[in-house]
Chain A
């Protein structure tokens, strides 16, 4: 079960089992989308599955996640989504209104994101499987000019940017499950980040080394992957990481770290120092980008590691998650 949570166990599964068998002998660092050439034209393709529970929650539902998640994976790989195909695996007995609501949500999200739903497939499995509904979307897009995403191009001195507050989605889901009896006026942050990414590329394209949407496993997992892929250290400044008060309150109450919590409407970017100011200014002026911040910088040490520092000189290492974040009482 830990293998799907996005952290260390997932990585082992992908790198240990899938990659050697499926991706050939030297695929390079694994990104959010693959760029291939069709008749010489660069095309990006990616796929993602959505198994969220509950299906609907404040701020969205599985339908929106399914669209935005794939649009975002393409965006942070430096591509604009053109079309998606959708697969539904439905549990027998799923009430029609529930299904209809999700299809509507999917359609609306696609319209909002400016992407076409080009087709799909549906399968029904027996009652007790599929947790009501699993959705998979596969997206294809046009590779954007003006940017080349490669974690290995990261250099000491590069700045780490975050598009907005972290933790909204994961905490919303945790609360929506109802097991912890907590209430808060929180919503999932699910949205397409494509226009913000395009803003970034326009303002700072040549300086953009890497982007990622920190979904399951949170910002810590994404940055740990980058640190490992480029062999450098990611140093974050704790008081510059944007977190909403309520997310912070929930995390303090449950003993969780916002850096480990899933996001569905944010992205991280590493930008060279010459372009960092232009990047942040452009993002802050763009719709939905007002909370974008520089949250850290790339250093030589600690190698392959994410370090969070405080203004008084304390620091701690933040590792990749092992399985889902679990509330604690100790």
Chain B
């Protein structure tokens, strides 16, 4: 249900700026901007394209944030392992799991039993 691809707006056209020429790795197609009338894109913007319609603008900032979060995954892990060597097992950092303190692994939770 969901094949949608990022494309870059090359030029806007139509009476109400309701269509645009979009570029996907060098392949171009005219797409309909009717679903983005509340937040009209301009040339240079990236949009998500599905069946020839722009569904949403793509936020470069959110993409970068995500990349940073992903890159940090392994790094925080590495940092934690170093710190563990100092005997500080209960460090409180958001979104970090501790290898040695995972009660769920051994507990049996009746509500979850199928």
Contacts and interface: CB of A to CB of B under 8 A. Distances in A.
Nearest to A249: B25
Interface residues of B, number: 15
B24 interface: yes
B30 A181 contact: yes
A330 B26 contact: no
Contacts of B52: 181
Contacts of B24: 249-250, 252-253
A183 B3 contact: no
Given A329-B3, A330-B2, A330-B3, A253 B27 contact: yes
B25 A245 contact: yes
Contacts of A246: 25-27
Given A329-B50, A329-B51, A249 B3 contact: no
A30 interface: no
Interface string A230-259: 000000000000000110111011010000
A264 B27 CA distance: 21
Nearest to A171: B27
Contacts of A184: 26-28
B28 A183 contact: yes
A22 to B, nearest CB: 42
A26 interface: no
B85 to A, nearest CB: 29
Interface residues on A, range: 10 to 19
A252 B49 CA distance: 11
B100 to A, nearest CB: 27
Contact of B25 (A183, A248, A255, A329): A248
Nearest to B23: A249
B1 interface: yes
B26 to A, nearest CB: 4
B28 A253 contact: no
B27 A255 contact: no
B40 interface: no
B52 to A, nearest CB: 8
A183 B1 contact: no
Contacts of B49: 253
B3 A185 contact: no
A111 B13 CA distance: 47
A94 interface: no
Interface in B1-32: 1-3, 5, 24-30
A278 to B, nearest CB: 34
B25 to A, nearest CB: 3
Interface of B: 1-3, 5, 24-30, 49-52
In the A-B complex, the 5 residue pairs with the smallest Cβ-Cβ separation, listed nearest first, are A249-B25, A246-B26, A184-B27, A249-B27, A249-B24
Given A180-B29, A182-B27, A250-B24, 9 more contacts: A181-B52, A182-B29, A183-B27, A183-B29, A184-B28, A249-B27, A252-B24, A253-B24, A328-B3
18 contacts: A181-B29, A181-B30, A182-B29, A183-B29, A184-B26, A184-B27, A245-B25, A245-B26, A246-B25, A249-B25, A249-B26, A250-B24, A250-B25, A252-B5, A253-B27, A329-B50, A329-B51, A330-B1
